[in-house]
Amino acid sequence: MSEQRKPVIPPDMTAFNRALIEEWRANGGRLSGRMAQSRLILLTTIGARSGLPRTVVVGYGPHRDELVAIASNNGAPDDPAWYRNLLANPNATVELGPDKFEVLARTVKPEERAEYGKVIPYFEGQQKLTEREIPIVILDRIQS
């Protein structure tokens, strides 16, 4: 039986994400190096306390017309700030490749977890890293 190990996390995650965001925006949503093949979006939420826009890099999986993400926070005991921001204000902006659009976020219901959990291939491994139930988030594109 293989032991579940925590993912390798850069020592300064803020700087790592800032560099990814800059590269993403400079190259029309394309990344280089080991991140080039990752299925990522940029998610901009409004800070629950600050009221300011906050952009993070988030892995996702497609499901029908929805984007699915997990609020794993790399197995940390607490939910990530972006998820807490969405709980306070579910309206957000997604950048997917060169496209940018508004979304409405919602946490999956208990009866939906099995279906949506399958969309993220690393979900089970992330869930094993923490005792909290990792939220699965659906990002529905708002049609303009």
Structural domain contains residue 4: no
CA 49 to chain centre: 20
User: How high is the pLDDT of residue 63?
Assistant: 95
Provide the domain limits for residue 35.
13-141
Q: DSSP state, 40?
A: E
Return the exposure string of 55-90: e unless at least 16 CB atoms fall within 10 Å of the residue's CB, then b.
Answer: bbbbbbbeeeebbbbbbbbebeeebbbbbebbeeeb
Question: Are 36 and 29 contacting, i.e. CB atoms less than 8 angstroms apart?
Answer: no
Structural domain contains residue 113: yes
Structural domain contains residue 121: yes
The CATH code of the domain that includes 105 is 2.30.110.10
Number of domains composing the chain = 1
Residue 107: closest CA among 89, 85, 74, 83: 83
Structural domain contains residue 79: yes
Structural domain contains residue 55: yes
Q: What is the pLDDT of residues 85-143, one digit of tens each?
A: 999 999 999 999 999 999 999 999 999 999 999 999 999 999 999 999 999 999 999 98
pTM of the complete model: 0.86
Structural domain contains residue 58: yes
Structural domain contains residue 5: no
Structural domain contains residue 119: yes
Q: What is the pLDDT of residues 30-86, one digit of tens each?
A: 888 877 777 899 999 999 999 999 999 999 999 999 999 999 998 899 999 999 999
Question: Are 96 and 41 contacting, i.e. CB atoms less than 8 angstroms apart?
Answer: yes
